[in-house]
Structure 1
Amino acid sequence: MTFSIKFIHTADIHLGSMLNIYDEKLKDNENIFKNAVYEAFERIVDYALEFKIDFLLISGDLYDRDAKSIKANSFFNLQCNRLLKANINVYIIAGNHDPFVGKREIFKLPDNVFVCDSEQCSEFQIKDKSLNIIARVYGNSYRGKADSRKLYNSYNPPEDSVFNIAMLHTELNPNNFNYVPCTLENLKAKEKISYWALGHIHKCKILNRSKPIIAYSGIPQGRDIGEEGVGGCLLVEVDEANKTFIKFLPTASIAWEKVYININENSNAEPKNLTELIELIEHKAQNILYKIEDIPCELSSESDLNNCLKGYAVRWIIEGRGHIKTIFEEGEDNLEEIIKESLNSKLMNYSPVIYTDSIDVRIEKEMPNIEEFRNSNNIIKEIEELCDEISKDGSLKEEISATFGQVWEKNYDLENTNDLKMQLDEESFKEILRKARELIIYRLMEES
Structure 2
Amino acid sequence: MIPFRFLHAADLHLDSRFAGLAHLPAAVRSYLRESTFAALGRLICLAIKENVDFVVISGDIYDVSDASLQGQLRFQEALKELGEQGIPVFLIHGNHDPLDGPRLVAEMPEHVTVFGGDAPGYATAHRRRDGQEVAIVSGISYPTAKVTANTAVTFSRKPGSELFHIALLHGNVDGDLQHETYSPCSRKDLIGQGFDYWALGHIHKRSILYEKPYIVYPGNIQGRSVKETGPKGCYVVDVRENGEAALQFHELDIVRWQVTELSIDGMEHEAQWVEAVERRIEDIREADPHLMTVVRFRLTGRGNVHRLLAEKGAAADLLSELQRREALRAERKEYPGLVWTEGFAVESGLAVDRSRLLQEDSFLGEMLRLAEKGEGEGSREELEDIISSAIAPLMENRELRRLLSQVSEEEKLDWLRGAAELGITLLSGLEGAGEAEGGFRDKPDGGRYDED
TM-score, normalised to structure 2, is 0.80
SS for the counterpart of 1:143 is coil
Contact 1:390 1:397 in 2 (8 A): no
Q: Aligned residue for 2:378?
A: none
Structure 2 Cα separation of the partners of residues 95 and 322 of structure 1: 48
Worse-superposed segment, 89-98 or 167-176: 167-176
Q: For each residue in 1:74-105, what CA deviation from the matched residue of structure 2 results, as whole angstroms up to 9, or x when unmatched?
A: 00000110001011111111111111279843
Q: 1:184 aligns with which of 177, 182, 187?
A: 187
Q: C-alpha displacement at 1:345, in angstroms?
A: 2.6
Distance verdict in 2 for CA 1:102–1:18, change over 3 Å: closer
Structure 2 Cα separation of the partners of residues 339 and 166 of structure 1: 50
Q: Which amino acid aligns with 1:324?
A: V
Q: 2:294 aligns with which of 302, 313, 325?
A: 313
Worse-superposed segment, 432-441 or 228-237: 432-441
Q: Aligned residue for 2:208?
A: 206
Q: Aligned residue for 1:169?
A: 170
Structure 1 Cα separation of the partners of residues 109 and 234 of structure 2: 22
Percent identity over paired residues: 23
SS for the counterpart of 1:433 is helix
Q: C-alpha displacement at 1:23, in angstroms?
A: 5.5
Distance verdict in 2 for CA 1:111–1:397, change over 3 Å: farther
Q: Aligned residue for 2:429?
A: 443
Structure 2 Cα separation of the partners of residues 12 and 443 of structure 1: 49
Q: C-alpha displacement at 1:148, in angstroms?
A: 2.3
Q: C-alpha displacement at 1:319, in angstroms?
A: 1.2
Q: C-alpha displacement at 1:31, in angstroms?
A: 3.2
Q: Which runs of 5+ in 1 are unaligned?
A: 292-305, 413-424
Matched, 1:330 2:311: yes
Q: Aligned residue for 1:382?
A: 366
SS for the counterpart of 2:142 is coil
Q: C-alpha displacement at 1:54, in angstroms?
A: 1.2
Matched, 1:343 2:322: yes
Q: Which amino acid aligns with 2:321?
A: S
Contact 1:20 1:223 in 2 (8 A): no
TM-score, normalised to structure 1, is 0.80
Distance verdict in 2 for CA 1:124–1:319, change over 3 Å: same
> Highest relative contact order (Cα 8 Å, sep 6+), 1 or 2?
2
Q: C-alpha displacement at 1:388, in angstroms?
A: 5.6
Structure 2 Cα separation of the partners of residues 384 and 123 of structure 1: 60
Distance verdict in 2 for CA 1:200–1:287, change over 3 Å: same
Worse-superposed segment, 429-438 or 60-69: 429-438
Worse-superposed segment, 155-164 or 19-28: 19-28
Alignment of 1:116-131 (within 5 A): 116-128=115-127
Q: C-alpha displacement at 1:11, in angstroms?
A: 0.7
Distance verdict in 2 for CA 1:411–1:46, change over 3 Å: same
Q: Aligned residue for 1:100?
A: 99
Distance verdict in 2 for CA 1:166–1:387, change over 3 Å: same
Structure 1 Cα separation of the partners of residues 68 and 416 of structure 2: 39
Distance verdict in 2 for CA 1:320–1:150, change over 3 Å: closer
Structure 2 Cα separation of the partners of residues 50 and 112 of structure 1: 19
Structure 2 Cα separation of the partners of residues 311 and 386 of structure 1: 44
> Paired residues, what number?
403
Matched, 1:226 2:219: no
Q: C-alpha displacement at 1:372, in angstroms?
A: 2.7
Structure 2 Cα separation of the partners of residues 400 and 247 of structure 1: 46
Q: Which amino acid aligns with 2:122?
A: E
SS for the counterpart of 1:443 is coil
Distance verdict in 2 for CA 1:156–1:426, change over 3 Å: same
Q: Which runs of 5+ in 2 are unaligned?
A: 376-382, 405-410, 433-452
Q: Which amino acid aligns with 1:140?
A: I
Q: Aligned residue for 2:278?
A: 282
Structure 2 Cα separation of the partners of residues 143 and 389 of structure 1: 52
Q: Aligned residue for 2:216?
A: 215
Q: Which amino acid aligns with 1:248?
A: F
Structure 2 Cα separation of the partners of residues 175 and 318 of structure 1: 28
Q: C-alpha displacement at 1:34, in angstroms?
A: 1.9
